[in-house]
Structure 1
């Protein structure tokens, strides 16, 4: 069943998320601190047995120089420079195996699929630890370090993601002026963060994005992962105000207010995990050219392969 307001109302909806006056300086200082460390990109060929694609094991320096893993996939013997897609994973997943996610390289693009630190054991598989500890947290990742914007888990994740784009742009096979970012669910939220922090992207593809409109999402759905915050605050009742002072620095709504690259969102009207109003909360604030595809009869899977087909058509149109 539909889980939210009618589509006409969704298109008029505005998030109540505040926009901190020091949002930009917080992120500028975070990225400047991390950029003290050399990217130190390592690219190692992987013997996959594929004849039409080449796969490379990539490692680069993310937040505060901590090492992050990714797979780079390109057409066999490609010399570039190629239009490139940097992709971020959904909640709990990692970069998975070298033979996963072959679509974009098969279509002729360079494809960097980035690990999410500390994740990769719910599905797929990951190889990037999260060395930073945090205080008491509800099981999962949503409340790790949530007592402070400096220690919150997604500060590290979003910084890793920005550095992933920088790492991609440093590669000879990549055309630094033709880089797009893509992700679904958590990956969609990371994609929006990158769109708000990185200049010169040619395309932004947030599919059923997570990490949006926290004032609504933390009270509107009983589904995880948003529910992790509610469960945490049910125990730590005294921290509700403080937590909602931290979350605006990591909300897709506020990154959308700063993003100018063309964007193609998706949402689904039966999505309990990322309710459509929370997606529209970010979409309606997005500053750049934008479109949104609404899937009326789908849940958190969104458009699935239909979204792949649409994205590929958009990318091919840019490339011609």
Structure 2
């Protein structure tokens, strides 16, 4: 069922970063960089667009898969869009996502470790074990920021930008990040952790103001947190402290690249006020597309067109 929040655009989050938030991510990324990126690109599919099967080293040196698509016959480096899947999805098949390559961009679509059996398939395992969790990914390792699932995924997402830049036909000075839902939350995180991006485009982003999401969402993965705390009643403070290290509100206030957000006012999975929480904190130039009568599907093809126009402007096509 859709939810209706009165005046969600007026909401301001009170979330504050843990004292060691920046040090935590500096340490995490330094540990990741200790492993060679080892980005490999193998031709996988070619018509008017060519697609490469990509493998690179993510968190802990673990292999992460992706697809890289670009117009066939490209000879000069292109601006690149790095995209992250929504919750439960993986990179899918080589020919599934060709929009950005058809528009003349290079496009890297990252697999998400351990996911890819919800609505598209994936090829990247998560070899790290954790303690008890509610089914899903949100509460995997949730009692400690060091073991939390999204520490690994966000690190993979940062390394995906480095992998894209390692391809000789990508212009590393013109890279944007984007995604819907979970992918939007990851784009916000990367926007903060990779300071020289050209653009950030989070659509109906998940992973923003986790406590409010857990309190308001009537569908989707925030409900995993609610269900976990309904059993582990004494873990509330510990859980929300861990979740703060992956919170898009805190990443937004550290990101400065031009940004295009989108929000859907009947979104039961990512309540609109959680999206506005990140939008209002965003530190760079920004604007937001609003879909008053849509749920979590958001703007779909309409937003695709808006995002392409945004990338044409920010990536100087």
The two structures share one fold, judged by TM-score above 0.5: yes
The residue number in structure 1 matching 2:82 is 86
Contact residue 204 and residue 263 of structure 1 kept, 8 A: yes
| Separation in structure 2 between the aligned mates of residue 106 and residue 206 of structure 1, nearest angstrom | 21
Question: Cα offset for 1:18?
Answer: 2.0
Question: Cα offset for 1:5?
Answer: 3.1
Question: Cα offset for 1:120?
Answer: 0.3
Asked whether 1:111 is paired with 2:107, we answer yes
The residue number in structure 1 matching 2:57 is 61
Contact residue 16 and residue 215 of structure 1 kept, 8 A: no
Task: Choose the corresponding residue for 1:310, options 306, 311, 315.
Answer: 306
Asked whether 1:43 is paired with 2:41, we answer yes
Question: Cα offset for 1:12?
Answer: 2.9
Count of residues paired in the alignment: 316
Asked whether 1:18 is paired with 2:16, we answer yes
Q: Any idea what the Cα deviations from partners look like across 1:96-139, whole Å, max 9, x if unmatched?
A: 00110111001110000000000001111100000000100000
| Aligned-partner SS, 2:188 | helix
- Greater CA deviation, 203-212 or 309-318? 309-318
Contact residue 143 and residue 228 of structure 1 kept, 8 A: yes
Question: Cα offset for 1:28?
Answer: 0.1
Q: Any idea what the Cα deviations from partners look like across 1:263-292, whole Å, max 9, x if unmatched?
A: 000000110000100000100000000001
* Equivalent runs, 1:22-33 vs 2, <5 Å: 22-33=20-31
| Separation in structure 2 between the aligned mates of residue 76 and residue 275 of structure 1, nearest angstrom | 40
Task: Choose the corresponding residue for 2:203, options 204, 207, 210.
Answer: 207
Task: Choose the corresponding residue for 1:241, options 234, 237, 247.
Answer: 237
Unmatched runs of 5 consecutive residues or more in structure 1: none
The residue number in structure 2 matching 1:258 is 254
The residue number in structure 1 matching 2:186 is 190
Task: Choose the corresponding residue for 2:119, options 118, 123, 133.
Answer: 123
| Separation in structure 1 between the aligned mates of residue 14 and residue 2 of structure 2, nearest angstrom | 22
| Aligned-partner SS, 1:181 | strand
Question: Cα offset for 1:222?
Answer: 2.5
| Separation in structure 2 between the aligned mates of residue 68 and residue 125 of structure 1, nearest angstrom | 14
Contact residue 260 and residue 310 of structure 2 kept, 8 A: no
Contact residue 3 and residue 218 of structure 2 kept, 8 A: no
The residue number in structure 2 matching 1:34 is 32
Question: Cα offset for 1:94?
Answer: 0.2
Question: Cα offset for 1:2?
Answer: 6.7
The residue number in structure 2 matching 1:287 is 283
Unmatched runs of 5 consecutive residues or more in structure 2: none
| Separation in structure 1 between the aligned mates of residue 297 and residue 190 of structure 2, nearest angstrom | 22
TM-score by length of 2: 0.97
TM-score by length of 1: 0.96
| Separation in structure 2 between the aligned mates of residue 144 and residue 64 of structure 1, nearest angstrom | 17
Task: Choose the corresponding residue for 1:102, options 98, 104, 107.
Answer: 98
| Separation in structure 1 between the aligned mates of residue 190 and residue 224 of structure 2, nearest angstrom | 24
The residue number in structure 2 matching 1:72 is 68
Contact residue 138 and residue 149 of structure 2 kept, 8 A: yes
Contact residue 146 and residue 243 of structure 1 kept, 8 A: yes
